[in-house]
Amino acid sequence: MNTENLSESQLQVKFITKQEIYAVPDVPFSVPVNINIKSLNKLLNELLKENNSNIIKSIDFDFIVLGELLRVSLVEHLEERNQSTEATIEIEYVERTQAPEPQDALLHDDWVSSIQVADKWILTGCYDNTINIWSIKGKHQAASNKHTNCVRSVSWLKKGDPTKGFVSVSHDLTAILWNWEVGTNDIQEHAILKGHERGIDTVSVSPDGTRLATGGWDTHLKIWNASLETDNDEPPSKKTKGTFVRTPLVTVKGHKETISGSMWSDDKTICTSSMDHTIKFWDAEMSSIKSEIVGQKAFLSLSWSPLNNMVLASSADRHIRLYDPRSIEGSICKSTYTSHTLWVPTVTWSQYSEHLFMSGSYDKNVKLWDTRSPKAPLFDLSGHDGKVLCVDWSNNQYLVSGGTDNNVNIFKNNNYN
């Protein structure tokens, strides 16, 4: 294409937004076909100041064209998608996501395998068999070393509420339910969950907080009572010194290799990822498989979002994939995100945005993504000196990660108020 003619060519665009405070007139404008993000921002801010006296300073926007964030000139974006420049192009604009701000690093005695935040408290599991609780300000609050092998996953029993206790799972074949007097160093075992035949790698809690799902190297999915009320299952024994012992409510078989991740999509449905290249959706009431997604590589982790009802899964091929289980048109895989250079063992959705998620990799990097930008992450959150094993965004204000450098890194989210 002749670049001289290109610079003179115009096309019609219409600006639209879901952020009403930044709305401009819904009429077509003529712009150069090769206009870029910087020039679009300049034009949009001029329109805003003309139509809204409350807008004083310039605002940075991102632009969405044909469902993806604009990262090149407008004409390049359209050509890549075989879109005509003759029709009026709708350009959606959103206030640009700000870079998370590094806050603190919490040093542990060994690899950090799992992490989850509730309110102002950070729960971690380690390869030195310990569980730890920290304040978001970096104070080490409490710890326990009752497990006899590495702790592989931890979870608060009620989302966002540390007063309801937590659960940990380990390669010592057990899960433990814990009581914690919030703000103290007093952590007490309530129940030991026994039934797995090999190491447990993942645990998740149902949205109503009544049941747990665990999975691991024996390939079995087990569902348990998560209550911290007095047990009717098995009474305390001398061996467990007053701690109740529980057996699973049900054991469900279907995976052929290690279960690497689990998550409840609702109180009756569990989603699991496995090294057998499948993601399965289980009916927790009927103890049966509802549906499955078959991939090409081993799945290392997954995350399900209640905001968009879609699944993110990371694989041994360095890619992260977005799946829509409800899709009846085309591929069930809607996007592939490629930027990491080594295995991606952990991925998690934002709790407040249907488009944002974070990932961690053996390449030492944590990345913040927007689903509408599959070719590149929004930000690289640097700081780890070893493999990243876990990430968490349970508290909207903080993005946290842990890994083989024994650190938990905390980043403040400046996009959420």
Rounded average pLDDT over 375-402 = 96
Give the pLDDT band (50/70/90) at residue 155.
Answer: very high
Secondary structure percentages of the chain, helix, strand, coil, to 5: 10, 45, 45
The pLDDT assigned to 206 comes to 97
Per-residue b/e over 154-179, b at no fewer than 16 CB within 10 Å?
bbbbbeeebebbbbbbbbbbbbbbbb
What pLDDT digit, counting tens, does each position of 165-185 carry?
A: 999 999 999 999 999 999 999
Q: Which of 13-17, 83-87, 114-118, 312-316 has the lowest mean pLDDT?
A: 83-87
The pLDDT assigned to 84 comes to 87
* Plot region of 75 (φ>0 → left; ψ -120 to 50 → alpha; else → beta): alpha
Rounded average pLDDT over 342-353 = 96
* Plot region of 367 (φ>0 → left; ψ -120 to 50 → alpha; else → beta): beta
Q: What are phi and psi of 341, to 5 degrees?
A: -105, -5
Per-residue b/e over 70-83, b at no fewer than 16 CB within 10 Å?
beebbbebbeeeee
What pLDDT digit, counting tens, does each position of 257-292 carry?
A: 999 999 999 999 999 999 999 999 999 999 999 999
256 DSSP 8-state letter: S
* β-bridge partners, 405: none
Question: CB within 8 A of 264, min separation 6: which ones?
Answer: 204, 205, 206, 207, 213, 270, 271, 284
Average pLDDT, the chain: 93
* β-bridge partners, 411: 102, 399
Q: Which of 32-46, 104-118, 238-252, 311-325 has the lowest mean pLDDT?
A: 238-252
The pLDDT assigned to 238 comes to 46
Question: Is 3-95 in CATH node 1.10.40.60?
Answer: no
* β-bridge partners, 187: 180
The pLDDT assigned to 330 comes to 79
Q: Where are the domains of the chain?
A: 3-95, 101-412
CATH number, domain 101-412: 2.130.10.10
Taking the model in full, what pTM does it have?
Answer: 0.92
Give the pLDDT band (50/70/90) at residue 26.
Answer: confident
Give the pLDDT band (50/70/90) at residue 4.
Answer: very low
Rounded average pLDDT over 154-166 = 95
The pLDDT assigned to 2 comes to 41
3-state SS class at 137: coil
